[in-house]
Structures are given as C-alpha cells and as structure tokens.
Chain A
Amino acid sequence: MDENFADVDPMVYQSRINVPYSWWAGDTASGFFIALRDEKKIMGKKCLRCGRTYVPPRKVCPLCFTENAEWVEVGDEGSLQSYTVCRRQLASLPREAPVIFGLIRLDGADTALLHYVDEIDPEQIRIGMRVKAKFADERTGGIGDIAHFRPAK
C-alpha cells in the first residue's frame, strides 16, 4: 500500500460539520430555570402515581408514563452519589482541567443531578458526603445558574 504514497502525503480532507441548533426548553424546563434564576430555588416534578420526584424535572414520569402534575421544591443540599476528577484536558471540557463532575441527590429528590463539585481538594471527596448548591451571582436561566456544589457545613 505504501508505494501509493511515495513522495506524497496521503490525502486528508479537513472539514467540519458545524450545525447550530435552537432547542425550546419546553414549559417544564422553563419553569425550573425561572425558579433558579429568580428565586434561587431548585424545583422538581413529582409523579402522583409512583411518588417519585424528578430533578431535573420532566413533564412525564418515564416509569409510569403519566404526566407529572406537581411541582415540588427540593432542598439545595444533598448527598454525593458519585464523582470523578477529570485531569486530562478532554475536548468536551468547557474549562481548564482538573474539573470535578458529580451526581448529587438533593434532599427530597429521587433522582440525581449532574453538576460540578468545587471548593474541595479532590483527595477529600467521599461518596455519600453532604454537598450544597452555590448559586451564581449572575443568573440567566440555565443549569449554570447553579455555579457548583460545595461541601455542606
């Protein structure tokens, strides 16, 4: 095969699929973001059939397939279900490594929220530890309105 490429570099075509999207968050996510932005409250949606409270909220319970009718305020504190410390500068990272990702089960919620963990030495993190939301000073209606989770006092 290599004789094909004697004296010449194999052809490589560089390209990019660059596709912009605009996603309607829908009325459920919009309600969640409004409460975060305006009241620093974290809201879940409860299924009246099985009783599960979903954070982030969904319109329909994925187990019962009925509409989740009730909004429930969950605490801004919870327990860390798991975490990882990303040390390599993976292409998907929006900031400089190391970055700590965590799954946080807030008090009152039956599902865990994906977010950052900060203000702690990675060696000190323990699964099951209590963490608390730190809200961003400037909030615009997005998951970034929570800046990160930090150890609860």
Chain B
Amino acid sequence: MSPSQEDSFVIEGKLALPYQYFAGRTGSRFLIALRDEKKIQGLRCEKCDKTFVPPRSTCERCLSDISENWVELKNTGSVTGFTIVRYAEPHQPVEAPYILALIKLDGADTPIPHIVKGVPLGEMKVGMRVKAVFAETTTSTIMDIDHFGPAEP
C-alpha cells in the first residue's frame, strides 16, 4: 500500500509559546532611565576597562560584580558595521528595505544593534556619526529609542 503524491499527508502545526521575560534589576533600571529620562546607561568594569551596553550585572571577562557601576553614555556614536535588510519577515520592526547597524555610543566599548533611518540606502557608510532619536510613545523596551539618524557634523 503506497500512497500517491496527492495522499502524502502534511501535518500543519504551530508552536505558539507565550513568554514573560523579567528584565531583572539591571535591565529594569536601564529601561526605566531610557523611558523616563531619555538617558542611555552602561555598566563599567574598572578592572577590565570596559563599559558594557546594554548593561550586564557581571563583567563577562573577569566575572566580577559591576551591577552598581553605572555610567551615562552620550546619545551619539559611530556606526561600526551595517547591512541593508531587503527581505520581509513578520518579526521585523520596520518595513524592508531598511538599514540595520551596529552603533558604538560615545563612552561605550560594545556596539548595540539598532535601525538607522534618514540615510539614503546607497550612502550608508561604516564610521558614520549617528544620534539617537527617541520614540514619541514609549513601550519600556529598547524601541524607546525609535531609531538612529545622521548626527550633525
């Protein structure tokens, strides 16, 4: 009994799993400062001379507790890398095509990924200076920075 192509069954399914992620004591302080004061903060390890953003409670190199060593960063930074996303998927926050970049904020040692707007796609360059543009309506997430735009020279 071998079934024909037409009778080869496909079982459709979906894994729809809801989650609630606790930002924790460190993440909560970062998001609150971002949302309420439009301030971007990092955490600094003096031993390793590194400032981490987004902040982590423990230095990933020496594992020491850095959770109280807050540093306020500037809203400006440089693009260390970027790509132009040209395909559409449901998880994307903006419509393709768009620029996805890694931005090293002034004062930080770790770049953060975010969206860059206001730059024609063909003119995007590594090293470009950019500035955070904050969201009008806040959501208590990283998207309280709406995007990064070109900084005044």
Contacts and interface: CB of A to CB of B under 8 A. Distances in A.
B12 A21 contact: yes
Interface string B15-50: 111111111110111011000000000000000000
A66 to B, nearest CB: 19
Nearest to B28: A11
B8 interface: yes
Given A31-B2, A33-B9, A16 B23 contact: no
Given A8-B32, A11-B31, A31-B3, A142 B11 contact: yes
Interface size class of A (residues with CB under 8 A): 20 to 34
What DSSP secondary structure best describes chain B's contact surface? mixed
Contacts of B20: 12-15
B29 A4 contact: yes
Contacts of A22: 10-13
A65 interface: no
B7 interface: yes
A74 interface: no
B13 A13 contact: no
Given A20-B14, A27-B3, 12 more contacts: A10-B28, A11-B23, A11-B24, A11-B27, A11-B32, A11-B140, A12-B22, A17-B17, A18-B15, A19-B14, A24-B8, A71-B1
B69 interface: no
Given A1-B25, A4-B28, A5-B28, A30 B15 contact: no
14 contacts: A10-B25, A10-B28, A13-B141, A15-B20, A15-B21, A19-B14, A20-B14, A21-B13, A24-B9, A25-B10, A27-B2, A33-B9, A34-B3, A141-B7
